[in-house]
Structure 1
Amino acid sequence: MPRGLVVKVTAGADDAERCNQAFTVSATALASGAEVSLWLTGEAAWFAVPGRAEEFSLPVAAPLADLLAAVLAGGRVTLCTQCAERRGIAADDVLKGVRIAGAAVFVEEALADDVQALVY
């Protein structure tokens, strides 16, 4: 059974390098065979909305939209319940494949056997 990686990204365009690093690590871990769960929290919550990842730009970095698509295709992407509520993002507003869940689900994933959790 492959090892798991849970990545919580709290930064968005307000801290582009930290944000992009979380998506890059998630996509790279997935490509290397890990089970990946990417959590969008804080300003990163906006990337659950169609078109937002395409607007993000960081020189000398893989496009965020491509990284997000890779994680959606092979891993799990979760939008924080409270972060969505604070921003007025509803379940009907998010990309196909993005789920909305809260802290209890994050803790369950992060504490599972053979899982490493990272926060960006």
Structure 2
Amino acid sequence: MKRSLVVKVTAGQDAPERCSQAFTVASVALASGVEVSLWLTGESSWFALPGRAAEFELPHAAPLPDLLDALLAGGRVTLCTQCAARREITGDDVLPGVRIAGAQVFVQEALADGAQALVY
């Protein structure tokens, strides 16, 4: 059975340490061979847009653009449907590789065999 990790990030610039922890844990899991799905919700939704991760700064933390690039290349990155709508973000606005999906897809991934879910 393939192990998988679903990470839901609710924090962005409003809680930088929590946000960075989520991206770091997801990236380390991916580098360890775990299938990773990162969900951008709440204030982290803005990181689905080009250039927004580059605006994020946290001393002594890995650069968010690097972590996001790794997750886009080897994992799955999803922007919450409702969060996108509240911010007027459409599929045309997001980075290549970011999908927009809702709670039903999150629940399917989180409850899949071998899956673990974390919320930050």
SS of residue matched to 1:20: helix
What is the aligned residue count? 120
Superposed structure 1 runs of 4+ greater than 2 Å apart? none
Give the TM-score taking structure 1 as reference length: 0.99
Q: Report the counterpart of residue 94 of structure 1 in structure 2.
A: 94
The answer for unaligned runs of 5 or more in structure 1 is none
Give the TM-score taking structure 2 as reference length: 0.99
Residue 61 of structure 1 deviates from its aligned partner by 0.3
Give distance in 1, aligned partners of 2:85 and 2:35.
27
Give distance in 2, aligned partners of 1:7 and 1:24.
10
The answer for unaligned runs of 5 or more in structure 2 is none
Give distance in 1, aligned partners of 2:103 and 2:63.
28
Residue 107 of structure 1 deviates from its aligned partner by 0.2
- CA RMSD in angstroms, aligned pairs only: 0.5
Larger proportion of helix: 1
Letter of the 1:83 partner, please give it.
C
Residue 102 of structure 1 deviates from its aligned partner by 0.1
